[in-house]
Structure 1
Amino acid sequence: MVQFFSQHFSFPHEWSKVTMGVWQKYPNPSSTHVTCVDTIDRSVDPLTGIIRTERVVGCKQSAPKWAIKMLGGTDDAYVREVSFIDPSTRQMKMYSVNLSLSQYLTVLESISYTPHHSSPTTQTLFSQSAEISARGFTWKTFADKLELFSLEQFISNAANGKVGFENVLHGLFGDDEGPVKARIGMGLEWPKGATASVGGEGGRG
């Protein structure tokens, strides 16, 4: 069966700060499983101003021995991530999919950062969803076991990622809700409750 995960919460910082902080998220001590982040493409649409960034994220996961024995591979895993920042509508969307063991398992993740509807100048709404599905197995029980393990890993990474990013944002901006300070070396400029269910990469964190 396909596994689903979703959660929504807010960060106590304005949208421009949070979206700048995304590029400073790693490394952080709460997400030690992320070993490297490589930007392979970045462009700005001259008509819309939308910033598109493509990255490859390297992770080291504690894969169960039964999975490694059956599927091969190692604890090293890689994820392709594509993000879009629209300065005019103040939306950031990120999409990711696992590259490692993709012939057996697909983890599709979607993330968005938008100004909070009730406090758009001081809070940013974070929304995250994931769909995890295994395929290509003769034994359905093995596929279900792999999906459940991946879901548990995703939930753990998502929780650690929340704590880690909160600490990164606090380190960058403290509790100040004033204008964005020019101390973020991203190299770009632009204007200023979790649920899991079973249906018919874990998260990077």
Structure 2
Amino acid sequence: MVKFFQSSHSYDHDFSTVSLAFFNRYPNPYASHVLAADTIERYVDADGKLHTTRLVLKQGRLPRFVKPFLKHISESWIIEKSVVDPKQMEMETWSSNLEHRYILKVEERTTYRREGAGTWSQNQVSFVSNFAGWGVKDRIEKWSLDRFGENTAKSRQGMNFVMDLLKEKGLMHFQRVQLGHDFK
């Protein structure tokens, strides 16, 4: 059975700041589980929309009941695709895990849209386990759903951290942070 997580959120930042923060949200102090983020494709189409594909390497803790099936694996590659429409001030994102899909497939879709002086986001995530062994399937899906709710709050904190840094200290300071300098 597929499990779903949905949420919406309003950011107190304009669309340009939110979309810039999205592409530059790693590293931040709320995302220590992200080990790497690499852009593998970026282009502007005939309509002026920016298309980006990235690979993100994440590390996470697994529940005890899954460890026998994954052994010592704690890292997973995520593919992330996005389309930014600067005319409509809207961004659509999609991401999914590339590994361990036989145990759990996670797909996340998020829409960011200008709303007055701020930006509104709508998020939907689906969790599907194809693992049929020993009654673990439902536990995997439930654990993932519960965990995702917790991670959403951290993700928003990270986005807000990056947006505040952009607004307070400017782009030059932000770029120094991206190069591995201090978060101060």
Residue 149 of structure 2 is aligned to residue 133 of structure 1: no
Quick one: distance in 2 between partners of 1:52 and 1:173?
A: 25
8 A contact 1:33–1:61 mirrored in 2: yes
8 A contact 1:79–1:99 mirrored in 2: yes
Aligned to 1:162: 156
Compute the displacement of 1:48 (Å). 0.5
Aligned to 2:24: 24
Aligned to 1:200: none
In structure 2, the CA distance between the partners of 1:19 and 1:138, relative to structure 1 (3 Å rule), is same
More helix as a share of residues: 2
Unpaired runs of 5+ in structure 1? 175-180, 186-205
Q: Which one-letter code corresponds to 1:165 in the other structure? A: M
Quick one: distance in 2 between partners of 1:70 and 1:172?
A: 42
Q: Which one-letter code corresponds to 1:35 in the other structure? A: L
Compute the displacement of 1:44 (Å). 1.1
Quick one: distance in 2 between partners of 1:97 and 1:32?
A: 19
8 A contact 1:105–1:133 mirrored in 2: yes
Higher relative contact order (CA 8 A, sep 6+): 1
Q: Could you tell which deviates more after superposition, 53-62 or 69-78? A: 69-78
Quick one: distance in 2 between partners of 1:34 and 1:25?
A: 10
Q: Moved runs in structure 1, 4+ residues, more than 6 A?
A: none
8 A contact 1:81–1:96 mirrored in 2: yes
Quick one: distance in 2 between partners of 1:147 and 1:102?
A: 12
Q: Which one-letter code corresponds to 2:153 in the other structure? A: A
Count of aligned positions: 173
Quick one: distance in 2 between partners of 1:99 and 1:115?
A: 31
Quick one: distance in 1 between partners of 2:90 and 2:75?
A: 32
Quick one: distance in 1 between partners of 2:121 and 2:159?
A: 12
- Alignment partner of 1:145: what SS? helix
Aligned to 1:85: 84
In structure 2, the CA distance between the partners of 1:98 and 1:123, relative to structure 1 (3 Å rule), is same
Instruction: Tell me how large the CA RMSD over aligned residues is.
Output: 1.7
Normalising by structure 1, report the TM-score.
0.79
Quick one: distance in 2 between partners of 1:15 and 1:43?
A: 20
Normalising by structure 2, report the TM-score.
0.87
Compute the displacement of 1:66 (Å). 2.5
Unpaired runs of 5+ in structure 2? 176-184
Compute the displacement of 1:104 (Å). 2.2
Quick one: distance in 1 between partners of 2:35 and 2:150?
A: 17
8 A contact 1:34–1:60 mirrored in 2: yes
Aligned to 1:191: none
Quick one: distance in 2 between partners of 1:163 and 1:17?
A: 15
- Alignment partner of 1:158: what SS? helix
Residue 69 of structure 2 is aligned to residue 70 of structure 1: yes
Superposition pairs of residues 189-200 of structure 1, within 5 angstroms? none
Aligned to 1:60: 59
Quick one: distance in 1 between partners of 2:85 and 2:98?
A: 26
